[in-house]
Chains A and B, each alone.
Chain A
Amino acid sequence: MTTHPLTHPQSKTGLQSLWVWIAAVAVVWIFQFFFVGYVDPYYFSIVMYSGINATLAVSLNLVNGFTGQFSMGHAGFMSVGGYVSALTTSLVVAKYPGIMGVDAGGPGIEGAILLVGALFLGGLVASLAGFLVGLPSLRLKGDYLAIVTLGFGEIIRVIVLNLNVVGGARGMANIPALTNFGWVFSVCIFTVFTIWRIVNSAHGRRFLSVREDEIAAEAMGVNTTAVKVRAFVMGAFFAGVAGGLFAHYLRYLNPQTFDFNRSFEIVIMVVLGGMGSITGSVLAALLLTVLKEALRPLQEITRLDFRMVIYSLMLIILMLNKPNGLMGTREISDVYQSFREKLRVRFGANQGSDQKGAKK
């Protein structure tokens, strides 16, 4: 991957200004309060899973894409976060049932505080797991690291399977329904924002330097150990939060949800989107979540399920023909810029504000 540029030339413009992100969150909440009720529940659930998957994919991208480590145990962190936060809210709600609101009222502000606290706790414990998994990355790379992370994910699953406090194989039912559109997408935006800021900061260049050439980075004074562990810890934190959202949306957790096929799914999203492209991950998560449902009619007609076959075939073909994924290391803004450039070349100069972008 040595040919990828280290910098994102466009990233300084616009997206780093905080207000854009705040506005996005505001839009999400406006949507939550005024429009959610009108969306068809089935499509709504696809939208919700897209948001959760996007969070997972972006957080894995920090490890796999930006830091160049290869983790295949992301579902493990997700399950840690999911179980910890679900256990927290379940215990609290069991003690203070009033939090869930009476009748149609739904959970109020207390519910929101509880959810945020539980998500944070879940994320913290997940990041602790991430720290443990990150440690081997100091000595291992490539295939070895991949299979060790996969092994960690499996170990987590086996441990959960034997934990009676969270139901073991019977799973954990009756988790309070606290997740809503607002929270899923606030978290998603927050994740994108945080990781975007990190990889585009001077500090974040260290992640990229580890990916490009670990030895050279070390020689330049980058503490590669710290960087790798940090990537794992942060990636795990957001995966844990996403797991918490998942738990409080589905309201039921089972260890089998988090087997290594789930980890593969997240890896596929990152690879499809392009390792090293945040918007790519978001896009791919959206695409794959929708595709999964879009392929349902095919299954209804043929009575056979081709979905996983198509998924895996897509992965192979992608690697053979377009190994950098949809976006490579570019972001959507870069794509937009180059697209506009092409238009410019074809249709002559635009006026005014386009000048800056066109110079690239």
Chain B
Amino acid sequence: MQLVFTNSLRRHLIKLSIAATLVVALTSCKKPVAIDSEIVIGEVGSMTGSEATFGTSTHNGIELAVKQINAVGGVKGKKLRIVSLDDQGKPEEAATAVTKLITQDKVTAILGEVASSRSLAMAPIAQQYKIPMITPSSTNPKVTEQGDHIFRVCFIDPFQGTVMAKFALETLKLKKVAILRDVKNDYSVGLADYFTETFKKGGGEIVVDQSYSAGESDFKSQLTAIRGKAPEAIFVPGYYTEVGLIARQAKELQINAPLLGGDGWDSPKLKEIGQDAINGSYFSNHYSEEDKSPNVQDFISKYKEAFGVVPDGLAAMGYDAAKVLADAMTRAPSLASKDIRDAIAATKDYSGVTGKITIDAMRNAVKSAVVLKVDGGVFKYQTTINP
């Protein structure tokens, strides 16, 4: 019997076969699996796009940590190898990247992302494949709630917002504070919310709550409005990229109230851009450059050597995330993901650059915060606030 193909049917068959070829081609080109003498660790970060500077810092920190670990023989006799993928600052790209890391590169564990928005897109996938993931600096509490394989080595928003509110109330004895938040960053919004809550509970008053979005350059209108309310301090929980300019413009408007902020400030760029204007401001951070402990000083000098700049807070977080992971892998009885997961969860009093890190039952890092004062181009240690 002869089959007579009509025009259309034939056309569809061709289309189908093209599609089938594509699918086959896509599924067949697998990458070589990791060789036995190394442990592959995945990293997802924003290397391009509007938040590229954060991703790059974190990546440098991770790279430095891995270099140091490998220099002393790696983990369990195996060298660490980082595969780092860019997500352009987009959650969906981060999700694809983490899928690729897990299924193609067969990574043992994942480091990333800087921002909670991307970590939230990645976490369900890491959890689904039961691959441990440590985020260096995603502060939204929801991130680690995504599953028991998701950890972080930074504070969460409620803690850091509270730290600064307590500092303002108890140490600086302030009663009237203005807020200038970055509505584009979940981190900034989170800090501002928890600061407000604690500060009000402690009898303080938020005289005005202004906002901007990251990427803007002119904040005079917000600051003029804030000046009109005569606050004793302004809480600006944004990133250093904008805070330097905000400080300058506040000074230009002769606002003498100090600025308060969070760990997003920690960067040499803050001093460079803000110059004199940023003096007299306070921010909460993980560690102080003045900390004489050898691992802090060692980190700072090695980082300068490797990248030619003073590390910022994100670099330190990336460094610690990688170190905590390596530490856990060393302690784990095997490199099975369950063992690594359990070992990370059991991390206790690990002395990182960013403080003593203990992982709690909610897989968050419990560690104390320090408050620093910007003074003549240095970040001066003020006080330590324990959780």
- The answer to whether A and B touch in the complex, with CB atoms under 8 Å apart, is yes
- Spell out A's residues near B (CB within 8 Å): 13-15, 17, 20, 27, 39-43, 45-47, 49, 161-162, 168-171, 173-174, 177, 246, 250-254, 256-257, 286, 290, 293, 296, 299-300, 303, 305, 307-308, 332-333, 336, 352-354, 356-357
Among the interface residues A42, A49, A171, A305, which one has the most CB atoms of the partner chain B within 10 A?
Answer: A42
Binary per-residue interface labels of chain B (122-146) against chain A in the complex, 1 for a CB within 8 Å, 0 otherwise: 0010000000000000001010001
> Does B8 reach chain A (CB closer than 8 Å)?
yes
B81-89, B259-267, B270-278, B301-309 - the one binding chain A: B81-89
B residues near A41, Cβ cutoff 8 Å: 99, 102-103
What are some 7 contacts across the A-B interface (CB < 8 A)?
A40-B27, A40-B103, A170-B190, A254-B117, A256-B90, A299-B86, A332-B15
> Does B11 reach chain A (CB closer than 8 Å)?
yes
Within 8 A of A (CB), among B80-124: 83-86, 88-92, 95-96, 99-100, 102-104, 116-117, 120-121, 124
CA–CA, A290 to B89, complex, Å?
19
Which chain B residue has the least Cβ–Cβ distance from A40?
Answer: B27
CA–CA, A352 to B117, complex, Å?
60
Number of A-B residue pairs with CB-CB distance less than 8 Å in the complex they form: 129
CA–CA, A15 to B26, complex, Å?
27
- Contact size class for B? 35 or more
The 8 closest A-B pairs by CB, nearest first: A14-B8, A170-B186, A305-B48, A252-B121, A43-B26, A254-B117, A42-B103, A42-B100
B residues near A20, Cβ cutoff 8 Å: 8, 12
> Does B14 reach chain A (CB closer than 8 Å)?
yes
> Does B189 reach chain A (CB closer than 8 Å)?
yes
B residues near A39, Cβ cutoff 8 Å: 23, 27
Dominant secondary structure at the A interface: helix
What 19 additional pairs, Cβ within 8 angstroms, besides A42-B96, A299-B47, A353-B5? A13-B7, A14-B7, A14-B8, A14-B9, A39-B23, A41-B103, A42-B103, A42-B104, A45-B95, A169-B186, A173-B146, A250-B92, A252-B121, A256-B184, A293-B96, A293-B100, A303-B47, A336-B14, A353-B7
A246 and B92 in contact, given A254-B117, A332-B15 (Cβ under 8 angstroms)? yes
Report the minimum CB–CB distance from B48 to chain A (whole Å).
4
CA–CA, A141 to B112, complex, Å?
45
Which chain A residue has the least Cβ–Cβ distance from B213?
Answer: A161
B residues near A15, Cβ cutoff 8 Å: 8
User: Cβ of A171 and Cβ of B117 under 8 Å apart?
Assistant: yes
A residues near B12, Cβ cutoff 8 Å: 14, 20
User: Cβ of A173 and Cβ of B120 under 8 Å apart?
Assistant: yes
Which chain A residue has the least Cβ–Cβ distance from B59?
Answer: A303
A161 and B23 in contact, given A171-B117, A250-B95, A336-B11 (Cβ under 8 angstroms)? no
CA–CA, A307 to B89, complex, Å?
14
Report the minimum CB–CB distance from A249 to chain B (whole Å).
9
User: Cβ of A168 and Cβ of B89 under 8 Å apart?
Assistant: no
Which chain B residue has the least Cβ–Cβ distance from A333?
Answer: B11
> Does B72 reach chain A (CB closer than 8 Å)?
no
> Does B183 reach chain A (CB closer than 8 Å)?
yes
> Does B185 reach chain A (CB closer than 8 Å)?
yes
User: Cβ of A305 and Cβ of B88 under 8 Å apart?
Assistant: yes
Within 8 A of A (CB), among B191-228: 213
CA–CA, A23 to B213, complex, Å?
49
User: Cβ of B7 and Cβ of A169 under 8 Å apart?
Assistant: no
Option from B27, B47, B102, B183 in Cβ contact (under 8 Å) with A161: B183
Which chain A residue has the least Cβ–Cβ distance from B51?
Answer: A256
Report the minimum CB–CB distance from B8 to chain A (whole Å).
2
B residues near A256, Cβ cutoff 8 Å: 89-91, 117, 184
Within 8 A of A (CB), among B1-55: 4-12, 14-16, 22-23, 26-27, 30, 47-48
A residues near B83, Cβ cutoff 8 Å: 300
A residues near B9, Cβ cutoff 8 Å: 14
User: Cβ of A169 and Cβ of B100 under 8 Å apart?
Assistant: no
A residues near B30, Cβ cutoff 8 Å: 40
Within 8 A of A (CB), among B249-288: none
CA–CA, A309 to B163, complex, Å?
43
User: Cβ of A296 and Cβ of B7 under 8 Å apart?
Assistant: no
A257 and B92 in contact, given A14-B7, A169-B184, A353-B4 (Cβ under 8 angstroms)? yes
CA–CA, A254 to B89, complex, Å?
11
Which chain B residue has the least Cβ–Cβ distance from A296?
Answer: B85
Report the minimum CB–CB distance from B297 to chain A (whole Å).
28
CA–CA, A290 to B27, complex, Å?
13
Report the minimum CB–CB distance from B206 to chain A (whole Å).
17
User: Cβ of B92 and Cβ of A49 under 8 Å apart?
Assistant: yes
User: Cβ of B27 and Cβ of A43 under 8 Å apart?
Assistant: yes
Which chain A residue has the least Cβ–Cβ distance from B83?
Answer: A300
User: Cβ of A17 and Cβ of B95 under 8 Å apart?
Assistant: no
CA–CA, A333 to B7, complex, Å?
10
CA–CA, A14 to B126, complex, Å?
45
CA–CA, A306 to B78, complex, Å?
32
Among the interface residues B8, B9, B11, B121, which one has the most CB atoms of the partner chain A within 10 A?
Answer: B11
User: Cβ of A47 and Cβ of B23 under 8 Å apart?
Assistant: yes
User: Cβ of B8 and Cβ of A170 under 8 Å apart?
Assistant: no
User: Cβ of A46 and Cβ of B26 under 8 Å apart?
Assistant: yes
A residues near B15, Cβ cutoff 8 Å: 332
Report the minimum CB–CB distance from A230 to chain B (whole Å).
29
B residues near A300, Cβ cutoff 8 Å: 83-85
CA–CA, A46 to B84, complex, Å?
19
